[in-house]
Structure 1
Amino acid sequence: MSETPRQLRADCFRCFALCCVAPAFAASADFALDKPAGRPCAHLAGDFRCGIHGQLRDRGFAGCTVFDCFGAGQQVSQVTYGGRSWRDQPRSAAQMFDTFAVQRHLHELLWYLTEAVALGPTEPLRGQLRRAVAETLRHTDASPAELLALDVDAHRATVNVLLSRASELLRGRGGADRRGAQLVGVDLRRVRLVGANLRGAVLVGADLRGVDLTRADVTGADLRGADLRGADLRRTLFLHRAQLDAARGDLRTRLPASLSRPAHWSALPLTPTRRATR
């Protein structure tokens, strides 16, 4: 896994707290209260900072800790709107929030494309991925009107064809196909997942203790509450920080050099588990 480019990492100090205002969320295990779209969170301070940032999990806002805008927040705040906030220009607030949603999709695609290029697929696919990166970058620099007119779904579909081809090449032959599989709470410790296609799989609460996920593609996989204690993620494909933040792990969980261990993970390893066979 490559080092994430700076423009694809969230920089909250250069953003107008768009993720705290634009989206809606409902009271649940992830959010302690209801908030309609376009309304600032009750904990948002006047300086665009979260008033309970260091206590989000303890206060019932685990969903905030796993959200990743992939740098779209600062792009909208500082580039698309030139440093003018939704508080400065309330008449443009709704447009800014809609623009943020589009930019977030584009930046997420950029992250996957950049990661795919770094993983080193052969030509001509590598060149096609680079051209997709350039095209997506051009979209991110567009005006608000141009962004809102963009058919994001069509662009995503085109990009996903390339990413799927890259996944096939990088995973190799013989991996299990679990695309979009509903694996909520399933014990996968004895399932061979080396080179598996887990794109879009729902792994909420799944038991992956000790599992080798080498070359497994986890694009869009939902890892909320998944137990990754002792799992080998060093060469997992398209694994990003938000997925780790949503999961459980410990000191035995092996991570790529580019990703750090989430602070809320267990400080000490628990009882050793049987590793899945290759």
Structure 2
Amino acid sequence: MSGGPFSCFSKQGILLLLLSNLHFGVGVSSYLSFHKTVGDSVTMPAGLEGQNVTLIKWRYSEMDIAEFNSEVLYFHGSHFKGRLEMNANDFSLTIRKLTLQDSGEYVVIAETDKQIPSKAVTLEVHEPISKVMIQTDIKLLAKHSCSVWQVCNASSYSNLTYTWKRDNEMYMDVQQIHFSLSPAEGDISVTCNASNIISWKIALATVKCSNDTTDLGMVWYTNYIRASVGGAVVLILTVVVAVCYCRSRRDTDRIWTPRAPHLSLPESTVS
């Protein structure tokens, strides 16, 4: 009984798969992984000890970057220009002056006298942490307590993990924290630890909730009070100036108002 078209398709697919992997390995198996710092060098072994290798290729991001054929070495691409070196004896690949963009999977494809699986080497390049800072935002609430927001900022953005400690309370895997604080609690010490696989740095901060802590509501209220007091002062000054002006006006009128001349009548003559 025939297996039908699906059976035929399966046989053809298997045959093509075998032919495509002939001489260049069968499948890809994970081999090694490396974690390095920006600027460092790495040497990735090919893992072909004891093999009769006639052709080997190192491939990155689906592109051949290094190749050994008989006794000749070839290097391809501009990304690694001047930074690659392959050992002609053990076929290990060395990359110098590593950058963050060098992270990824490197596949070793070899042609030998027998079928061997292709091997994948994983490289992760990390930027070291040089500085950590805590940014704090405190706002006074109506109930005489404070809302505290804190953000931990690190100089590196490469696979960072954050750990906070506030007195005896821990916060894990968060870059920012939020909590409430009362004036009665006094000074509170907060620590942020920023880390990646190659480095770590710690930042310290002290926060305190006070009744004179300024927030947006308090700023508006203060400005409003200042505007009201200023208006009252202007009104009082205006009244004082007006009163003084009126008094001055009356005094001026009293001094400078002309009087009618005094006329004396002639004495009557008695005849």
Higher strand share: 2
Larger radius of gyration: 2
TM-score by length of 1: 0.18
Higher helix share: 1
The TM-score, its normalising length taken from structure 2, stands at 0.18
Greater relative contact order structure (CA < 8 Å, 6+ sep): 2
